[in-house]
Structure 1
């Protein structure tokens, strides 16, 4: 079982480069924030376990790769 810190380490470079995405700690786990446009319009997901955070970030990374490759 991974810890939150291990998940954040695994996705570190992606989180640094994705200026529209942030992950912040809270009392219930971590919150993944996704800015959906200008002006700022956040979509938030509460991740109560490291697995939930991993899944959210893996989905975001997969979407980023598909967009960069022009895949719908």
Structure 2
């Protein structure tokens, strides 16, 4: 089973380059903040387990890849 630190290490490059994302520890686990635009407007997701954090970041990364390389029909 992965720890929170393992998950953060796995997504380290993505988190370094995604200036609109921030992941912070809190008393209940970790919070993933997503800045939806100016002025600062955050959408927060509480991740109580490493798996929840992994799933959230995996989804964020998949969306990022889709935005950068949209599939054309």
Residues 1-58 of structure 1: CA distance to partner in whole angstroms, max 9, x if unpaired?
1000000000000000000000000000000000001111000000000000000000
TM-score (ref. length: structure 1): 0.97
Larger Rg belongs to = 2
Total equivalences in the alignment: 72
Gaps of 5+ in 1: none
Q: Any runs of at least 4 consecutive aligned residues in structure 1 with deviations exceeding 6 A, and if so which?
A: none
Gaps of 5+ in 2: none
TM-score (ref. length: structure 2): 0.95
- State the superposition RMSD in angstroms: 1.1
